[in-house]
Amino acid sequence: MTGFFDEQGFIDEAIAMIQESIPAPGKAIIACSGGVDSMVTATLASKAIGDRLLAIYVDSGLMRKGETDEVEAMMKNMGINYKVAHAADEYFDALKGVEDPEGKRKVIGEKFIRVFERHAREFGATYLLQGTIAPDWIESGDGVRDTIKSHHNVGGLPKDMNMTLVEPLRDLYKDEVRQVARKLGVEASERQPFPGPALAIRCLGEVTPEKVEIVREACFIVEDEIMKAVGNGEAVRPWQYFAVLLPSKSVGVQGDRRAYGYTVAIRAVDSIDGMTATFSKLPLEVLNRISVRITDTMKSQVNRVVYDITSKPPATIEWE
């Protein structure tokens, strides 16, 4: 983005907007994933309406390794009123047989709302806060723009949702959200983006617990090895970096025996606001360490690792 952005001015306006949109004694819940968008929204809302806000982190079974504990610690440190909703079985049941990316997003979007509605009733909330930012609604399309992909918090929302939606970050881009996060002292300010549908859209084809476990471990290895390389001065930290599990299998070799396993794709990109991106030119030695570690760790499941060298456009950052 270009031009001057007044973080404190935005914070003051956002708090006033939330207070006006959710007048006392109204209560609200927020879908809090632990990413910078939702954490900034939760922090602003907590300042605006205090304990009339309940932040709900949904453990969908689709999150990254250690994510639930990490997010819970962040919300505790920020003093936000929160609750963890465990709903993995619900999500996997709802995703059975669904292979189409748009279908996954809509299933997950509806499931999120249904989980939130249950907890909203218990809390007595009639408002739903979301960390929706400009790229979310731009890519989700409308009557004028084409739908690139339905973000679960926009195009994936069910039409019969019975809560009033409040989106204080709607006109911001990712770099501006990070500026606000730094001003607020939010721990997630430098956290790399993570999609709302989580690992479901990094697991191409039907989503199963077994496949999610594979891509969860692969994502952990990618993140860990890249951060080690950054710490050692071997690489510059990309804007976003992760693994994708492809739905097809290929022939490989383990020792002197034939193996038949999945392919994992590594994705790392550089961007400012997420609207465009270029693939990161990671050193070959770093990519080699990632490949060896993935195939050694999951010998019976993965036998091939590839690197995605496509920019956005023509690709999107996530594969689905």
pLDDT, one tens digit per residue, over 160-171 is: 667 899 999 999
CATH number 3.90.850.10 given to 207-305:
no
C-alpha to C-alpha distance for 52 and 210, rounded to whole angstroms: 39
Number of other residues whose CB lies within 10 A of the CB of residue 247: 12
Q: What's the confidence (pLDDT) of residue 179?
A: 95
Whether 150 has a binding-site annotation, put simply, is no
Whether 163 has a binding-site annotation, put simply, is no
Whether 39 has a binding-site annotation, put simply, is yes
Q: What's the confidence (pLDDT) of residue 113?
A: 84
Q: What sign results for the dihedral spanned by CA atoms 39, 45, 48, 50?
A: negative
Whether 35 has a binding-site annotation, put simply, is yes
Q: What's the confidence (pLDDT) of residue 274?
A: 86
Q: Please answer whether residues 43 and 18 qualify as being in contact, where contact means their C-beta atoms are separated by less than 8 angstroms.
A: no
Whether 33 has a binding-site annotation, put simply, is yes
pLDDT in tens, 144-195: 445 454 444 444 455 666 789 999 999 999 899 999 999 999 988 888 888 8
CA-closest candidate to residue 64, choices 180, 183, 203: 203
Whether 248 has a binding-site annotation, put simply, is no
Homologous superfamily of the 5-182 domain (CATH): HUPs (3.40.50.620)
* Average pLDDT for 88-98: 96
The structural domains of the chain, with segments of one domain joined by +, span 5-182, 207-305
Q: What's the confidence (pLDDT) of residue 34?
A: 87
Whether 227 has a binding-site annotation, put simply, is no
Q: What sign results for the dihedral spanned by CA atoms 65, 71, 76, 78?
A: positive
Q: What's the confidence (pLDDT) of residue 158?
A: 58
C-alpha to C-alpha distance for 55 and 318, rounded to whole angstroms: 26
pLDDT in tens, 204-243: 999 999 999 999 999 999 999 999 999 999 999 999 999 9
* Beta strand spans in 111-191 (E): 127-129, 164-166
Reading phi first (left if > 0) and then psi (alpha if -120 to 50, else beta), residue 307 is in beta
Q: Quick check: pTM over 0.85?
A: no
Q: What's the confidence (pLDDT) of residue 4?
A: 80
